[in-house]
């Protein structure tokens, strides 16, 4: 059979369909990459913590002990004993 644009038939249709899939797939991948590079809606990549400035890392055992002593939950003797125990274990 004769084709007006050369001897292309089903090959041209297959090539055109493949190019359309590659174009739209690439466009979608680019959009996803741009969205994720901006940090997503509210989370940092690879973590479960919020992306906010008021985020505080976890406190150490000594920090918690000092807060309990400052609030009056434990006596001075209990504080010193627990502090010495934590320091002996190497907790900071």
Domain layout of the chain by residue ranges: 1-41, 58-92
- Six-digit token string for 67: 């807060």
Q: What are the tens digits of pLDDT across the range 6-58?
A: 666 777 788 889 999 999 999 999 999 999 888 655 555 555 555 555 556 67
Contact 8, 16 (CB under 8 A): no
Residue (of 88, 83, 91) closest to 60 by Cα position: 91
Euclidean distance between CA atoms 91 and 83, whole angstroms: 9
pTM equals: 0.37
Euclidean distance between CA atoms 26 and 8, whole angstroms: 26
């Amino acid at each position: 059979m004769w084709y007006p644009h050369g001897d292309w038939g089903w090959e041209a249709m297959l090539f055109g369909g493949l190019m359309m899939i590659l174009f739209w797939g690439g466009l979608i991948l680019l959009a996803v990459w741009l969205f994720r590079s901006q940090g997503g809606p509210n989370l940092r990549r690879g973590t479960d913590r919020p992306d906010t400035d008021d985020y505080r890392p976890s406190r150490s055992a000594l920090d918690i002990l000092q807060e309990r002593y400052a609030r009056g939950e434990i006596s001075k003797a209990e504080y010193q004993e627990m502090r010495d125990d934590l320091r002996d274990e190497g907790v900071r």
